[in-house]
Chains A and B, each alone.
Chain A
Amino acid sequence: MTNASSTRSAAITGRSSGAGSVTGIRAVVEFARNLDLIQTVSLLTLVLTVIFSFDHWLFHIISRTCFLIFILRPSSLRRPQFWFALALAGTITIILAWEQVDNHKYLLVYWTWVLFVLHLFSQPDQQKRILLFNARFFLCLIFLAASGQKLSSPSYRSGAMFEYYLYVDPRFAAFGKLIGIHPAVGDAVSRQMHFLRSPFADVDGNDIHIQGSDRARVAALAMTWWDVSLQLLIGALLLFRRRRTDGIAHVLLLFFIFTTYIPAPVFGFGWIVAIMGFTLAKNKFPKIAGVYILCFFAILIYQLPWRDWVLAM
Chain B
Amino acid sequence: MIIRSAFSRWFLTLCVPCVALLVVGRQVYLSMHYGLSAWKGGGMGMFAAADELSNRYAKVFLVQSDGNRDPLVQLTPDDFDVLNRALEYPTRENFRRAAKQIASENWIPAFQRRPLLKVNGKGEPMHAEEKAFRVMVASPLQPEKPETNGIEIQFWKLTYDPHTRHMHGSLAETFVFSPDELFRPRATRNNS
Q: How many residues of A contact B (CB 8 A)?
A: 72
**Known A133-B13, A158-B162, A160-B50; contact A98-B42, beta-carbon cutoff 8 A:** yes
Q: Which of A16-24, A190-198, A296-304 faces chain B?
A: A190-198
Residue of A nearest to B45 (CB): A149
Q: Which residues of A contact B43 (CB under 8 A)?
A: 103, 145, 149
Residues of B114-168 whose CB lies within 8 A of A? 114-123, 125, 129, 133, 156, 158-168
Assembly CA distance A129 to B16 (angstroms): 14
CB within 8 A of A165: which of B38, B50, B73, B167? Answer: B50
Instruction: Please give the distance in Å from B169's CB to the nearest CB on chain A.
Output: 4
Within 8 A of B (CB), among A98-128: 98-104, 106, 110, 113-114, 117, 120-122, 126
Q: Cβ of B3 < 8 Å from any Cβ of A?
A: yes
The 0/1 profile, CB within 8 Å of B marked 1, for residues 249-276 of chain A is 0000000000000001010010000000
Chain B residues lying within 8 Å of A200, measured Cβ to Cβ, are: 71, 73, 114-117, 133
B44–A149 touching, CB < 8 Å: yes
**CA A137 to CA B163, docked complex, whole Å:** 39
* CB under 8 Å from chain A, chain B span 86-130: 88-89, 94, 114-123, 125, 129
Q: Is B187 an interface residue (CB 8 A)?
A: no
Contact B88 A99 (CB under 8 A): yes
New contact pairs (5) apart from A100-B40, A165-B54, A201-B117, CB-CB < 8 Å: A98-B41, A121-B12, A150-B45, A160-B160, A203-B119
Q: Which residues of A contact B60 (CB under 8 A)?
A: 199
Interface residues, chain B, CB within 8 Å of chain A? Answer: 1-3, 9, 12-13, 15-17, 19-21, 23-24, 27-28, 36-51, 54-55, 57, 59-61, 71, 73, 84-85, 88-89, 94, 114-123, 125, 129, 133, 156, 158-170
Q: Check if A305 is an interface residue, CB within 8 A of chain B.
A: no
Residues of A within 8 A of B (CB): 80, 94, 97-104, 106, 110, 113-114, 117, 120-122, 126, 129-130, 133-134, 137-138, 141-142, 145-146, 149-150, 153, 155-156, 158-165, 168-169, 188-189, 191-193, 195-210, 212, 217, 220, 227, 264, 266, 269
A-B contact pairs, 12 of them (CB 8 A): A97-B85, A121-B3, A134-B16, A149-B38, A160-B160, A160-B161, A188-B123, A199-B133, A205-B121, A207-B121, A207-B167, A209-B122
